């Protein structure tokens, strides 16, 4: 792929477009060992070797990270007051990463961080009905009646009931443990579904989104790049 040198460098987070333009004109960029002072110079991202400030600058069109989102971090790219999930990806090269979908601030678990808009659309499009699987601890005894209610769709105060979902009881008691599969992503959906059943979500963790399954070796706040097998099933 051919790119302007200033866009190449800016995409890799090495400065704003205006900053890298100034740096290029000062002679801080080299392509194939030749100093380039024209920001509009076209770089072959596959073949050319680029140095910026004497350091190699490799180009990566897309990045894909699996994050085990911790509680207390918001699903956003930037915020003036809160820490965002993108801030946790310290090894990122791209400056345009974003979370695919969102998890509530107090919710943990699987979150895909990327800059691939097409993939995000495939996973988030309401028409696709992509499965999202959650583990939760619930205040109150979850019953087979709840299972059937969730299977039929739950009235959470909107025009339409939720789509049918699959509720599996792992442990029933004063504090119940469940696994829930939903196929949409309404605001606070899981919490609202259990609230409609007269219960309260105490802890919520996403385990799977579509074919992508959380790597349980990742502690909350840890991340890794997607492996080849994961990329194959997603793309």
Active site (catalytic) residues: 104
Instruction: Report the distance separating Cα 128 and Cα 104, nearest Å.
Output: 22
* List of E strands, 37-131: 42-44, 50-52, 55-56, 64-69, 98-99, 108-114
Degrees, nearest 5: CA angle 201-124-217: 60
DSSP class of residue 76? S
Q: Which of 50, 64, 129, 143 is nearest to 98 (CA)?
A: 64
Q: Which of 46, 44, 43, 45 is nearest to 24 (CA)?
A: 43
What span, in angstroms and rounded, lies between the C-alpha atoms of 204 and 100? 18
Q: Are 109 and 70 within 8 A, CB to CB?
A: no
């Amino acid at each position: 792929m051919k790119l302007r040198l200033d866009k190449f460098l800016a995409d890799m987070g090495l400065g704003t477009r205006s900053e890298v333009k100034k740096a290029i004109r000062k002679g801080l960029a080299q392509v194939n060992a030749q100093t380039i002072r024209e920001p509009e110079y076209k770089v072959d991202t596959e073949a050319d070797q680029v140095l910026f400030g004497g350091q190699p600058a490799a180009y990566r069109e897309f990045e894909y990270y699996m994050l085990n989102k911790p509680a207390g971090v918001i699903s956003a790219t930037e915020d003036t007051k809160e820490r965002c999930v993108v801030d946790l990806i310290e090894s990122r090269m791209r400056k345009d990463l974003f979370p695919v979908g969102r998890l509530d601030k107090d919710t943990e678990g699987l979150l895909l961080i990327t800059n691939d808009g097409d993939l995000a659309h495939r996973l988030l499009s309401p028409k696709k009905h992509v499965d999202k699987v959650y583990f939760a601890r619930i205040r109150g005894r979850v019953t087979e009646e709840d299972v059937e209610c969730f299977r039929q769709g739950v009235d959470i105060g909107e025009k339409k009931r939720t789509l049918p979902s699959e509720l599996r009881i792992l442990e029933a008691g004063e504090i119940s443990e469940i696994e829930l599969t939903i196929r949409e992503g309404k605001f606070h959906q899981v919490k609202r579904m259990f609230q409609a059943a007269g219960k309260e979500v105490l802890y919520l963790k996403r385990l799977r989104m579509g074919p992508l399954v959380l790597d349980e070796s990742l502690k909350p706040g840890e991340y890794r790049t997607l492996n080849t097998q994961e990329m194959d099933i997603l793309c």
